[in-house]
Amino acid sequence: MMPGLAILTIIALLTGLAFFKGQAKGLFAVGLVSLTACLSSWPAFHALFGDPLQITLNGGPVFGKIPIRVDSLSGWFILLMNFTMLTGIVYGIRYIKPYQDQTANVTIHYASYWFNQLAMVGIYVLQNSLAFLCVWETMAISAFLLVIFEQNKMATLGAGINYLVQSHIGIAFLTVGFIWVSSHTGSYDFNAIGNYSASINSALSFVLFVCFFIAFAIKAGFVPFHTWLPYAHPAAPAHVSGVMSGVMIKLGIFGILRMLLLIKENYLPVGYFIIVISLITGIYGVMLAIIQHNLKKLLAYHSIENVGIIGIGIGLGTLGLGLHNLYLVFTGFAGALLHTLNHSLFKSLLFYASGTIYQAAHTMHLERLGGLIKKMPQTATLFLIAALAISGLPPLNGFISEFLIYSGLFAGLRSHEWSYSFMIITVIFGLSVIGAMAMLCFVKAFSIVFLGEPRHPTPQNVDTEDFVRLFPLYVVAFFVIVIGLVPWLFVVALENPISLYTNGQNTGALQSQVMNTLRITGYASCGLIVLSLIIMGIRKIATRSRVVTIAPTWGCGYSSPTPRLQYTANSFVRSYRKLIRPLLIMNKKEKAIEGVFPEPVYSETHPYDKIEAVLIDLPVKRIKLFMSRFRFLQNGSIQFYILYGMGFIFISITVPLLLSAIKYVVNLFKQI
């Protein structure tokens, strides 16, 4: 009765969405997303603070009993997902406005956005493997429709299909894992996964975990399963990119954390495994981000980097479980969960700002941007806040979650096992390298986009900084700052999710220790802001009588400076690019200087992911080469096509008869 009523309600609301026109359609979509957020956030909030919800639905003869469990882990992810989905749809109304004449396309877009939210809620609460696969498929298809909003562009369609294919590879691994468990237990309940893993040996339990890990790692964007992400994020509209990076890829993080709760064996090897994969992911992601020329593709690779940081926290917490070290458990999982929230905030803010830049300049190519701080000061300020946060600098939220992970890593150095200490030192070094390269990348991005002079003509009247458009960006920026100043208010909410991994062991003393450290950190951040304001005030007072003049920058004796003499994004990181060139595929196009009176010259570099070339391009090329051998079958002759049909019918009839005859003869010999 209840599922049928829910389906009728969804159909009625979709009919209402199709009925509205223009801006009213967007407002109705905001209402749908807000309603879903309110209905799902209420039990999620209660579950997060110690009042979990569990109900069971009757799924009929196919699904059986469908348990719906909202525990504190689900509650945390539902709350951060709903927040980003709300800011995304509010921002999306203005972003979609130029496309309002495409009524059917806009309707499908808003419907897909809402279905995606519903599917993600289902993923967080459903603990029946068949029902879980259904909502996971719904999430994948709705995300595909969101990505291909501008389906008239071949690059967008290619990115969407690439995402859909790789998503279904992940679904295949999920299906294998669920079938493996259900074939031995006869149950589709998630609890059967834990019971089964406890009944088999450690090696098989580890293999089962790896099967699920690969499925969720594809969604999260761990290396080497990341190749869909740098294409889907740039192809999607800005608000969809923010949601995909902010919360959709976090479904993979949630899945890994859920499996760690269910498969409670092999914590030490699992911890090492996660840390190694995560460290490679973080370094490789930021390494490729630095050399990108497309702003959204640059941000997409930073999603890979931050997934690696989250994974390091998860791996650290898992090692703590294996070593029975509660401090590692608390700081590792707390850092990972808080960075999940922080990344959803500053990365969605960056993507929303990139959308504003795109609609002002009509390009995402860094080499065609510049000087936008004069036309878009508010967007520049918001982008700078998010850039500082993603670089892990105080007094913003990215610093806090990375600080927690660092605290656990330094505490882990007290171990007397040399192999463990070596691993921790390597991770500390790797995490510091990630932070340094992230700062290099965003110094490049901010300076090339906003500073200097425009490298190419841009529209004179830039009307992209109205209050309605920037309101969701200011809301997100507010939380980016607040978490950096009062982090203990958010970390205290993680007590119940972390207690799921400690089996109820008392972590009160550890939590108090961490909270005291975070309070000192928060007060220091507040002091930094106050000190900065005092210095700015003193400077303003000291220079108030000075006449301010605006003049061109000194051109070193060159009388006709042009914007082309500025640093480009490519030249900004030239030394770095030359240093890592052996690790990448670098396609370069250039025209050399020739003759006494040379024509204008140019030089372009197009970096390419070597992992993508090996894992995706090479197999696809070989499959195409193999299939091309059968191209003669497609000869355009209708007689041959009729012959193919007759041959298929003949085979369909004769093969079963032949198998029956063979079976009959075998039975005769058995009787003899």
Q: Quick one: which of 239, 32, 253, 244 has its CA closest to 144?
A: 244
pLDDT, mean over the chain: 85
Residue 356 pLDDT exceeds 80: yes
pLDDT of residue 88: 93
- Range from 44-53, 76-85, 635-644 carrying the lowest mean pLDDT: 635-644
Band (pLDDT 50/70/90 cuts) for residue 654 is confident
Residue with tokens 């990505």: 147
**Which whole number is the average pLDDT over 140-155?**
89
Q: Is the pLDDT of residue 2 over 60?
A: no
Residue 66's DSSP bridge partners are 57
Total-model pTM: 0.89
Question: Is the Cβ–Cβ distance between 65 and 58 less than 8 Å?
Answer: yes
**Residues 386-409: pLDDT tens digits?**
999 999 888 899 899 999 999 888
d(CA 237, CA 244): 10
pLDDT tens-place string over residues 68-119:
889 999 999 999 999 999 999 999 998 888 887 777 788 888 989 999 999 9
Contact 114, 276 (CB under 8 A): no
Helix (H, G, I), strand (E, B) or coil at 665: helix
Residue 10 or 346, more confident? 346
Asked if the model's pLDDT at residue 211 lies above 70, the reply is yes
Q: DSSP readout, 583-630? A: GSEEEEEEE---SSSPPP-EEEEEEE-HHHIIIIIHHHHHHHHHHHTT
Q: What is the mean pLDDT of residues 28-41?
A: 90
- Looking at residue 478, what is its pLDDT? 94
**Of 432, 407, 455, 422, the residue nearest 568 (C-alpha):** 455
Question: What's the average model confidence in pLDDT over 663-669?
Answer: 77
Region 493-507: mean pLDDT is 82
